[in-house]
Amino acid sequence: MKILRCCDAGFDCDHVIRAASEEDILWEVVDHVQDVHHIEVTVEMAEQVEGLIQEEWTNDEP
Ligand SMILES: [Zn+2]
């Protein structure tokens, strides 16, 4: 899973986005930032966010 914390993107927000791929995370970020923070996500912002996405390892993987 990929994971992105909204606070890592500079927002005072504890929302955490998880998705299977970076592309899915980006779509969720765009939705979340526009709905909750009322900010239009620019191409530059999307590129920055891409750099903040982390790999999440879980213990229950085979
Ligand atoms: Zn947020």
Sorted by where each begins, the domain ranges of the chain are 2-55
**Ligand 1 centre distance from Cα of residue 15 (Å):** 5
**Ligand 1 centre distance from Cα of residue 11 (Å):** 6
* Paired strand residues for 3: 18, 54
**Ligand 1 centre distance from Cα of residue 57 (Å):** 22
Q: Are 17 and 25 in contact (CB under 8 A)?
A: yes
Q: What percent of the chain has pLDDT over 90?
A: 90
Pairwise CA distance, residues 52 & 20, whole Å: 15
**Ligand 1 centre distance from Cα of residue 39 (Å):** 10
Residue 12, class by beta-carbon neighbours within 10 Å (0-12 exposed, 13-18 middle, 19+ buried)? Answer: exposed
Q: Transcribe 10-55 into DSSP letters.
A: T-S---EEEESSHHHHHHHHHHHHHHHS--PPPHHHHHHHHHH-EE
**Ligand 1 centre distance from Cα of residue 35 (Å):** 9
- pLDDT tens across 6-59, in order? 999 999 999 999 999 999 999 999 999 999 999 999 999 999 999 999 999 877
Per-residue model confidence (pLDDT) at position 60 = 74
